[in-house]
Structure 1
Amino acid sequence: MSRIEVSDDTVSYRANSLHELQTIFRKYRSVEGVGGWLFRGQADHSWPLVPKVGRSEYDSRGGSDWAMFSIWRDKATAYERLPNNELECLAIAQHHGLATRLLDWSNNPLVAAYFACKELPKMDASIYLFFPRNVIEEERFNYKDVNEVVQYIPRGLAARIVRQSGRFTYHPNPREPVEFGEIGEPFIGQRLKKITVPCSAKEEIIDELNLYNINEEGVFC
């Protein structure tokens, strides 16, 4: 099998404006027939790249996350008709605030820039770019069989997911952050990039994103 180069060896950038961000984003476009990069903005550059259930504030809630999901699913069926597969139900549960092993991403880098810059004006932000090696299918999903971070491309389960060009990654070990490193065969290149955005640039970036309708109304309504 021939190998496909999808990335260079650069893993970190710094951007002080939307123009600088766009210059970086242009380097990491979708690869036809292979897949593409996912983008995630975090308002505090020190936050680990883990799903909600893997964060320290959820350690003391007791019970496993899958047990909590099972309880949520049993109760939710009284209020709405749920999909037949676990992965879509997990996405809906996350949409309603349950801590799960899914981590939100977008395939629109400007949406990631918005989430990086819209809060915590005194903290530097991060925008992560991630190239997952595999995509998981809802019908074949069994959490016991997943042993690496994989991409999940949801259907239009909620308007907000559609507006945010939403994607997910599923994390079998939710307390382990996504790490820098090679994507792995059949791909060549680094799988994770981090762009640091200084707090001094946040307000101007938000103002410029508004020109593209990347704002509260465009992303959430």
Structure 2
Amino acid sequence: MADVEVNSWVDLIDALYDIPQTSLGRYRSSLLYRGVCDSSWSLETSLYRLGPHHASVEEPLLRSFRKYAEPGSLGADSLWMMLSMAQHHGVPTRLLDWTLAPRVAAHFATSNEQRYDRDGAIWCVDVVRARDLLPKRLRDILDREDAFYFSVEMLSGIGSLQELDAYAADGEFALFFEPPSLDARIVNQAAAMSVMPGASLSIAGFLEAHPDLWSRIIIPAKLKWEIRDKLDQDNVTERLLFPGLDGLARWLTRYYGRGPADDVDRAGSEVPREVPGEASPGQPGPR
């Protein structure tokens, strides 16, 4: 599907919330979203980014994660709990993070000010259409549960990566699931995850082969400051999405950091800097 470039905040909201009414009279999206701060980035997993040897180290990575984790810290002893925990804590895995919340995706497309010279993007994937491409045994689970995508409990019958990979005998597919509510971060981010039945399989390649499954919203670099400030006004910030002192510190650093005036000051004069607890003239700070 072709990219959709937005040119204003209103365009972005229209694109994100173009949700048709269901047969029940509700407005429920069938999409999951992934925001990236650079539109040139592909949908590569953290495992794939390890390099050519990534497939051979997947099992040792997970085995070591299970071995050295503090007793009881991994919760239930299941593949899906372990994969979710590993991804959540930064271990390279074949999982990819998504969100049910459009504005959360917009946050991640605009959260890195070092990339404000690049266009951002929000990937949108239709999980209902993706469900139709699953092997029948997996589709039957979703049909029985009347669900768009899986919970980790629904996937309990798949106990190893080898068992998951065996499902690809009849063709590739992308499996989307909702991770357990490990902490407030996952809950507040409305997190979802995707996994492919093979460490080297690419969801980007899968989506390219099925253009009816996805679209991509392009956020021009010139629009990022406006979107970022309006998301802050909506409280879609690091303070909410990464609860705790670390998230608070990240939000404060960005909120009181460089602004567009710093980038366009061509006269050589010093641009007044905001400091925590003070607002620049005419600009209210957080209360």
What TM-score results when the alignment is normalised by the length of structure 1? 0.82
Q: Hey, which of these two has a bigger chunk of helix by percent?
A: 2
Deviations 1:31-85 (A, max 9, x none): 6799721000011111111221122x44457842122111111111436242221
Structure 2 equivalent of residue 139 of structure 1 = 156
The answer for unaligned runs of 5 or more in structure 2 is 132-148, 244-287
User: Deviation at 1:200?
Assistant: 1.0
Structure 1 equivalent of residue 66 of structure 2 = 73
Q: Is the 8 A contact 1:88 1:138 kept in 2?
A: no
Query: Matched residues in 1 for 2:23 and 2:2: separation?
Result: 22
What TM-score results when the alignment is normalised by the length of structure 2? 0.65
Larger radius of gyration: 2
User: Deviation at 1:11?
Assistant: 3.4
Indicate the SS of the match to 1:84: coil
Find 1:25's aligned residue among 16, 34, 37.
16
Structure 1 equivalent of residue 258 of structure 2 = none
Find 2:82's aligned residue among 80, 89, 103.
89
Query: Matched residues in 1 for 2:17 and 2:32: separation?
Result: 13
* Structure 1 pair 167–44 and aligned structure 2 pair: CA distance change class (3 A): same
The answer on 1:47 being equivalent to 2:41 is yes
Letter in 2 for 1:125: G
Deviation larger for 125-134 or 200-209: 125-134
- The number of equivalent residue pairs is 205
Query: Matched residues in 2 for 1:76 and 1:102: separation?
Result: 19
* Structure 1 pair 85–198 and aligned structure 2 pair: CA distance change class (3 A): same
Find 1:118's aligned residue among 90, 94, 111.
111
Q: Is the 8 A contact 1:123 1:198 kept in 2?
A: yes
Root-mean-square deviation (Å): 2.5
User: Deviation at 1:220?
Assistant: 0.9
The answer for unaligned runs of 5 or more in structure 1 is 1-9, 184-189
Query: Matched residues in 1 for 2:199 and 2:216: separation?
Result: 20
Deviation larger for 60-69 or 165-174: 60-69
Aligned residues with identical type, % of pairs: 25
The answer on 1:211 being equivalent to 2:239 is no
Residues 189-200 of structure 1 mapped to structure 2, 5 A cutoff: 190-200=212-222
Indicate the SS of the match to 2:234: coil
Letter in 2 for 1:169: S
